[in-house]
Amino acid sequence: MSISEKDIIKESAEIIKKSRHTLVLTGAGISTESGIPDYRSKGTGLWEKYDPIQKASLSALMHNPKEFYEFNLPRWSSYIDAKPNIAHKVLALMEEQGLIYGVITQNIDGLHIKAGSKKVWEVHGHLRTCHCMECGRSYPFTELKEQYEKGVNPPRCRKCSGMLRPDVVLFEDPMGKDYYRALEALRGCDLLIVVGSSLQVYPVADMPGYAEKLIIINREPTPWDKKATLVFHSSAGEYFAKLARELNLE
């Protein structure tokens, strides 16, 4: 017999309150209610329409940087003005009150930090900075946007004229420091709450295997659903609005 939505929320709250070391893993689905489209939803996901290796990989940047920036930069720039939604805000409150240890996110939009979360591992990088691929000089992400809007494509380093790239983990890139820090944080994790992730992008998709228990909140089924203690196939906002009430969070 399937468990009711009300019971899922109630049981979630009980499991969270009893957990000793809870982490949250978030994917694109947590940010859709902030106006940021996801990548892998059937029929609407960006990578359902385009091959990510051709559009958002290291080789795409190196072989055709002009097309790489034409495809990615306007979309990434639109994320900068996005605002955290209720799911981001409730997670920040849960951390503040000691209900979760921190958030591991696949997202580059920075919305967890905007919402007030302190312990955030951005395993795919972020859109706050960029750097020169030649001399390594760092710039604010807005440097890319400003040069692009002035017709400089690809954007160039002001010091050595090397090509700039965003501090995001592209397809074919090695994982950055936050990924390995997240793995350290997962040691002893007795509960991992997965929010808005299809759990199809590796190596992050292996992270549920580090936790004793799983709660999964995602609109569509994931490969880990059968191993989860609780699964909620709905929006992250709906789940966390109800969970906040159950946990008596302000």
Query: pLDDT tens-digit profile of 202-240?
Result: 999 999 999 999 999 999 999 999 999 999 998 999 999
Determine the angle formed by the axes of helices 5-18 and 236-246, rounding to 10 degrees: 60
Annotated binding-site residues for Zn(2+) read 132, 135, 157, 160
| pTM, rounded to two decimals | 0.93
Please tell me the distance from the alpha carbon of residue 110 to that of residue 114, in angstroms, as a whole number. Answer: 6
CA-wise closest residue to 107 among 84, 86, 124, 90 = 124
Q: Which two tokens stand for residue 220?
A: 């569509």
Annotated binding-site residues read 28, 32, 39-40, 106, 108-109, 124, 132, 135, 157, 160, 197-198, 218, 236
- Residues marked active site are found at 124
Boundaries of CATH 3.30.1600.10 in the chain?
38-81+126-168
Cα–Cα distance list, 145 to 44, 80, 122, 170, 212 (Å): 26, 11, 21, 18, 43
> Which class is 38-81+126-168 in CATH?
alpha beta
pLDDT for the residue 38: 77
Please tell me the distance from the alpha carbon of residue 172 to that of residue 169, in angstroms, as a whole number. Answer: 8
- Are 76 and 31 contacting, i.e. CB atoms less than 8 angstroms apart? no
Mean pLDDT across the chain: 93
Annotated binding-site residues for nicotinamide read 39, 108-109
Please tell me the distance from the alpha carbon of residue 136 to that of residue 132, in angstroms, as a whole number. Answer: 5
Boundaries of CATH 3.40.50.1220 in the chain?
1-36+83-124+175-250
Please tell me the distance from the alpha carbon of residue 230 to that of residue 28, in angstroms, as a whole number. Answer: 20
- Detail the DSSP E strand segments found in 58-198: 102-105, 120-122, 125-132, 138-140, 164-168, 191-195
Please tell me the distance from the alpha carbon of residue 119 to that of residue 185, in angstroms, as a whole number. Answer: 10
List, for residues 104-163, the tens digit of each pLDDT value. 999 999 999 999 999 999 999 999 999 999 999 999 999 999 999 999 999 999 999 999
Query: What is the residue type of 78?
Result: S
In this structure, CATH architecture of domain 1-36+83-124+175-250? 3-Layer(aba) Sandwich (3.40)
